[in-house]
Chains A and B, each alone.
Chain A
């Protein structure tokens, strides 16, 4: 291998040195970003396959480390908080307030880099999880916080399918006499599914939700 490179180098004209240096620099920066992509991909896979709260917390910490090291990427913090919202949905023993505080802290770190609709969807979920601890009593505080997050998200991106999915879920789970119910949720889920199908997510960007929205829509039929 060394020989082959040497051979190749021998054939390079000295006038092309500048080009080589340029290429080398690009390669090294590619290597750098490649490291990021690989780490992200690996952890996104781990996130998808995580089964327990401990697994999810570990993946969340891994994403947070990536975010702390990168300093200008919001996606690692986004996934770190997404992992914790999954804990909030599936683990009934976890302290929802403590978990939500952690999620919101990660959202703040992400928003310090970039404010966007995806982070708002996480904030909506965190507040919703806190509200669900005692909906009657917390509806006015955390319910409001959740709808504010949704509203902010839609202002930033009025075509974000995940926000419509979450809005649909909120309507779906609200009793009819409180202004929710299947009939109210159905058009929202339909809009969510249509937007999901039209979505072209950039690599590493969030793309979850189509299946959930389709399942939820099926329940509204």
Chain B
């Protein structure tokens, strides 16, 4: 009996195998009702299924019977599942797949910001781009000046963004503010930034409308994100007629931690002998720079990074005095700067992230200014002519900044998120000038929150608010920020941004009065962007409204009063195009900006176009690498239309008026640089060599940034660079072991 049952089972099994297959057919569409080709249909836990054709249709036969789960999936869409009963033909299915919210695919809130660096998908410039932009000489600020919205200001350091002064752009490293991002400068000569582009893996340059996570910058925030761990251990050296440097970077064997130390010495005496400078340098500029870092990965995949840099520099130069044919102004500067940054980034689990940061910096400038006669002897002015007396002074200036910052982020549904946090800055500023002591202490606190909401892959909103309080001026403010982005097509999107931005008055104003309020700017931005891997096109129009700008109240004998009665506006358009595709190995970008801006601030008697603003600016940057000769050649052409200049003096009614005004000639500069990389691509090369040479203002065009006026206003003198051209030549070496090739070759 048992045997018969068993045999019956066997028979049933055979019949099943031979039984008729059932046809399943249908169509797959996306949520916009467009057919979805290439979607995969499957019966779960069976081999049966199909792929949709170009019309989204599919059809297959199956031997499965009964209740099953059918799935439909396609990249970028949520997988569809449905229970079906495979019983009898025909089975017709109509499936709709919902698009997955995806950070890589989703629209990005980009109005007002240029993301740069290697880690960002919206990279506009990488750190290598910064180094190979002709004219930049590896200075981040100089390279950013080839982007639209910036001015070609050469007589002061800083980024002058969309009608804003240099001090209205702030730099942040890993979230914390950098108090002295540039080397201390000499009047009428811009100085370089302190930080090398190779310290950073990502840079976001916001030309306006930036996030609520940052504040105290009326125009723009430059957000720098330092690299985590280096790729390998190496020793680096640099040699040039201008500088020599040595350093090392050591990566632990388990690739979980690293440390590094670098030192460089800059001395331009040889260079100044070869290339004549207009000023007479009685103390040749010399700088000692040292930095060190320590970084490690935490157990949970977080990152702790410490970076410190110390620099000491001195210089002295003499220029003819503007009020006298026989006298000279001698300016001397000694600077000490120490910067420290410690940050900790951690994943707390459950969609929580934490970013902690602390930084401490101290900067000391000892400045001396002296009137000298033809034989370089000091000249005293005892009576009268106080404008000459005031040119003899010594200034000791110390600036300290300590900061604490904490930001928490929580992932919400999909890819939406909320961020919030707080900052505390303790700043100490002490000046000793003309036998007077000025001291300022400020406790600045802020609390901020921001949420980024993705309604679909095509529509995102970012809303934030920032509360700020400064103890020094006893003022608190609330700054709202809002931006929206909408995907208009493949790789294309529109964004709008709005925000209120506050900034404390400058310390040299607060010395005289602390009963001032925050200066204020409102930004309105509309942006269109089309971006593929190799091409970027973006155009942005903006309107900015300034309120409560600081005005100077004329008083007697060089003491000033200040109030918040200034105002102004800026409006304009920025256009950017980058193309790496059209010509092989050739990369170029074009920037153009138009701006219309006026401000009534400082000693301006009415709303005037600021003297650092040119209405039209344009840059063309070109880079070409020739693999055959392992060399790259780079050209940058920058243009700016003429800038206004004014001689503003106090009239008999004790009011400022325009005694003279004019417009400079337009600014033109063609810059060139080349690099030769003989060891590129050499497997197992123990030494990596880069030879680099550059030249600014190749065509030797006269560059006039503005005019200085004599006290009586009878004489004006153009402000020009200390030399027509700047040349650089250097050799950079690194010895490192990249073991990835060894393993392969050992097996041969």
Residues of A near any B CB (own CB < 8 A):
2, 5-6, 9, 12, 14, 17, 20-21, 24, 28, 35, 39, 54, 57-58, 61-62, 64-66, 68-69, 98, 101-102, 133-134, 136-137, 144, 147-148, 150-151, 154-155, 158, 167, 174-175, 177-180, 187-188, 191
Contacts and interface: CB of A to CB of B under 8 A. Distances in A.
Given A9-B7, A69-B46, 14 more contacts: A2-B11, A5-B10, A6-B7, A17-B3, A24-B6, A54-B53, A61-B40, A62-B49, A65-B48, A68-B42, A68-B45, A69-B44, A167-B744, A187-B748
B6 A191 contact: no
Q: Among the interface residues B11, B630, B740, which one has the most CB atoms of the partner chain A within 10 A?
A: B740
Contacts of A68: 42, 44-45
A155 B627 CA distance: 32
B6 A57 contact: no
Contact of B40 (A64, A144, A180): A64
Nearest to A147: B740
B375 interface: no
Contacts of A24: 6, 10
B676 interface: no
Nearest to B40: A61
Interface in B703-748: 740-741, 743-744, 747-748
Nearest to B627: A175
B6 A20 contact: yes
Q: Among the interface residues A62, A134, A158, which one has the most CB atoms of the partner chain B within 10 A?
A: A62
Contacts of B533: 133-134
A62 B41 CA distance: 9
A17 B743 CA distance: 58
Nearest to A61: B40
B32 interface: no
B680 A178 contact: yes
B435 interface: no
A79 B589 CA distance: 43
Contacts of B680: 177-178
Interface residues of B, number: 41
Contacts of A175: 627-628, 681
Contact of B740 (A137, A148, A188): A148
B31 interface: no
Contact of A179 (B6, B50, B75, B683): B683
Contacts of A98: 75
Contacts, number: 96
| Interface secondary structure of B, over-half rule | loop
Given A154-B744, A155-B743, A178-B680, A58 B50 contact: yes
A93 to B, nearest CB: 13
B75 to A, nearest CB: 6
B580 interface: yes
B47 interface: yes
Given A9-B3, A24-B10, A102-B75, A39 B47 contact: yes
Contact of A61 (B13, B51, B682, B740): B51
Contacts of B630: 177
A178 B744 contact: no
Contact of A57 (B38, B49, B628): B38
Nearest to A21: B6
Given A57-B51, A58-B50, A154 B580 contact: no
A136 B49 contact: no
A151 B625 contact: no
B681 to A, nearest CB: 3
A146 B10 CA distance: 52
A64 B46 CA distance: 11
B585 interface: yes
B2 interface: yes
13 contacts: A61-B51, A62-B47, A64-B42, A65-B49, A68-B44, A69-B44, A136-B585, A151-B743, A158-B747, A177-B628, A178-B681, A179-B681, A179-B685
B45 A69 contact: yes
